[in-house]
Amino acid sequence: MRDYINRAKGLVNETAGKAKVKLGKAVESSDLILDGTALQAKGKAQSREASFNDAADDAVAEGKAMKEAFEKAAHDKTLKG
């Protein structure tokens, strides 16, 4: 769940950053352009963090499933003797 929130925050920050960059260019404000660029970078980092967390969660779940399958196979083999 936290990954959806981080991904949403990232998207909001990227979008806000793009808007700040456009506004900064329109009014010729280097401060707005820099702030917007930084906000875009923050948003991309948040989105990538969420993707990384998703991949890590998937790997953990797959590892648990493999462990359970192995333990079940070992148990079944023991029962068949």
Q: Across the 81 residues of the chain, what is the mean pLDDT of every consecutive 10-residue run? A: 83 96 97 97 92 85 89 80 61
Terminal Cα distance for the chain, rounded: 44
Q: What pLDDT is attached to residue 1?
A: 60
Q: Could you give the CA distance from residue 26 to residue 77 in angstroms, rounded to a whole number?
A: 72
The first and second tokens of residue 59, run together, are 């790997």
Place of tokens 């998703």: 54
Domain extent, residue 44, equals 2-80
Structural domain tally of the chain? 1
What region, left, alpha or beta, does residue 28 occupy, with left being phi > 0 and alpha being psi -120 to 50 degrees? left
- Whether residue 52 contacts residue 44, with contact meaning beta carbons closer than 8 Å, is answered with no
Residue 81: the pLDDT is 61
What pTM value is reported for the model? 0.68
Q: What gap in Å lies between CA 10 and CA 23, rounded to an integer?
A: 20
Give the pLDDT score at 16: 97
